[in-house]
Amino acid sequence: MTDWINTLMQGLLLGGLYALFATGLSLSFGIMRMVNVAHGDLIVLAGFGAVAAVAPLVANEPSGWLPWASLLLVVPLMALIAYGLQRLVLNRTLGRDILSPLLVTFGLSIVLQNGMLEIFSADVRRLDTGALATQSWSLGSQVSIGVLPLITALCAVAVIVGLQWLFRATAIGRAFRAASDDPLTAQLMGINHKHLYGLALALAGAIIALAGVFLIMRSTLSPTDGPARLLYAFEAVIIGGLGSLWGTLAGGILLGVAQAIGAAINPGWGILAGHLVFLLVLMLRPNGLFPKTRDR
């Protein structure tokens, strides 16, 4: 029984990381109706950016607080890159046809993967967080929670709470909602949709940076890992329901728990179990568990 409780706890905390993966993708689709195929590669880029920021400052010793300090550089830098990408490239592809941004971001994915292979080589990288990597808190005699996974999950919840507040209580949030519901009317009311979409992807880019840094703190990462991260993010968004931030969190948790249970049954079944749960939800609830865009 204790082993299963530990498995469920690991799945819940893994789901927090998947929710971080998925939140930026959910924003891109929810506000701009854009499927960003390069989303996973941007996560990997953020992780390698953190490695590049920390590497000159450490030698062969644990980097301690430096991985956390890298967030101060990587988060605003990824937000700036995402804003420029949306304003200069992706805004030109938006319209009634979703195929154009799909093809452009697919090309961007290939460019990012090959660029990172050229710069960082095919070697896997990881940010050394010292003792925090293995530190855990005990909940009783045999149940424990990893500190770093817990911080990741709490960060995911904080991000979603912050986004909910932004969308409901601020002028920019109302502008995001207006542009999502009726872009033409929003433009007629004086909203600069190109700038607004840039801000939306910048916000997604900041969340992508958080996901990338937490990912490379928790596991090794290679330049070609982007498509797998995109797949987890996409599955979490679809399971939770398009347009629902809390649904995205629920989708990430369900995916993480399914993978943890599958891996506990058989080490080779972890990823497969997540995919099977995704297919099951898609069959029973095609709009996801908590959809907000059923009419679309």
Structural domains in the chain plus CATH codes:
2-122+138-284 (1.10.3470)
Does the pLDDT value for residue 79 go beyond 90? yes
Burial of 68-80, coded b for 16+ CB within 10 Å and e otherwise, reads: bebbeebbebbbe
Bigger pLDDT: 139 or 196? 196
Q: How does pLDDT run across 106-123, given as a tens digit for each residue? A: 999 999 999 999 999 888
- pLDDT band (50, 70, 90) for residue 64: low
Across the range 11-38, mean pLDDT stands at: 91
Reference 166, options 189, 199, 194; nearest CA is 199
Does the pLDDT value for residue 70 go beyond 80? yes
Using CA atoms, how far apart are residues 61 and 102, in angstroms rounded to an integer? 43
Whole-Å CA distances, 290 to 8, 120, 165: 22, 40, 19
Across the range 20-47, mean pLDDT stands at: 91
Using CA atoms, how far apart are residues 264 and 164, in angstroms rounded to an integer? 35
In the predicted model, what is the mean pLDDT of the chain?
Answer: 88
Name the strand (E) or helix (H) holding 262: helix 245-265
Across the range 147-171, mean pLDDT stands at: 93
- Kindly report the pTM of this predicted structure: 0.91
Percent of the chain with pLDDT over 70: 94
Using CA atoms, how far apart are residues 137 and 154, in angstroms rounded to an integer? 15
Across the range 200-223, mean pLDDT stands at: 93
Using CA atoms, how far apart are residues 261 and 244, in angstroms rounded to an integer? 25
pLDDT computed for residue 63 by the predictor: 53
Does the pLDDT value for residue 160 go beyond 70? yes
